Amino acid sequence: DTAVSQTPKYLVTQMGNDKSIKCEQNLGHDTMYWYKQDSKKFLKIMFSYNNKELIINETVPNRFSPKSPDKAHLNLHINSLELGDSAVYFCASSQGEGNTEAFFGQGTRLTVV
Amino acid sequence: GNSVTQMEGPVTLSEEAFLTINCTYTATGYPSLFWYVQYPGEGLQLLLKATKADDKGSNKGFEATYRKETTSFHLEKGSVQVSDSAVYFCALRSGGATNKLIFGTGTLLAVQP
């Protein structure tokens, strides 16, 4: 019973390609996130959706476009991939707008060659 | 803005040694504080949390106390094991409509037999 699942786990692609990462949570949470973890393990939030509505959009290039078809899914589409996009991308979810913890997926390691 | 500062690693200890990883924060209001752990090749798991001043979070022998007067949430364990080797992240979340989980830079712990 995976709580937050993302696919694929590994993604290797060439520069200039377009790719998507999918995320689903079965916790009934209303808020979902995308985080990027760089090679030094630093975690930075990219986007947050609450009940399918975008509420946080950090300074992320507009080549990155999140899509939330329903509150259990938050997908990340990346256009025109660049070498610097190589990182581990984590999906997470939490309940409500309070101070509750977030639950994370296993991550998607994206390598752009 | 809100931020988290944690001690830089790597921290290298022998098995059964005492562990402290320092974490201090800057936040408006009354944030919740968290420690997450990331084992090699895996996603982030919540280790423990505290939601108000003087709360102590504990799990798997790890402890951390929410100290409002020193704005700290240091992680401690009395006797580490090789299996505790991982990256540890301190984080805070302050609630509200655009609240987000803000992470420290992570501290790599390596425990040697």
- Give the separation between CA B66 and CA B62, rounded to whole angstroms: 14
What letters, b where the CB count within 10 A reaches 16 and e where it falls short, cover A42-65? Answer: ebebbbbbbeeeebbeeebeeebe
pLDDT tens profile A14-52: 999 999 999 999 999 999 999 999 999 999 999 988 888
pLDDT tens profile A55-111: 888 878 999 999 999 989 999 999 999 999 999 999 999 987 667 889 999 999 999
Closest Cβ opposite residue B98 in set A43, A55, A104: A55
Q: Do A101 and B106 touch (CB under 8 A)?
A: no
Distance from CA of B6 to the nearest CA of A (A): 12
Structure tokens at B46: 């919540």
Q: Do A99 and B46 touch (CB under 8 A)?
A: no
Among B21, B33, B32, B4, CA closest to B87: B21
- Tally of CB atoms within 10 A around B79: 11
Residue type, A76: L
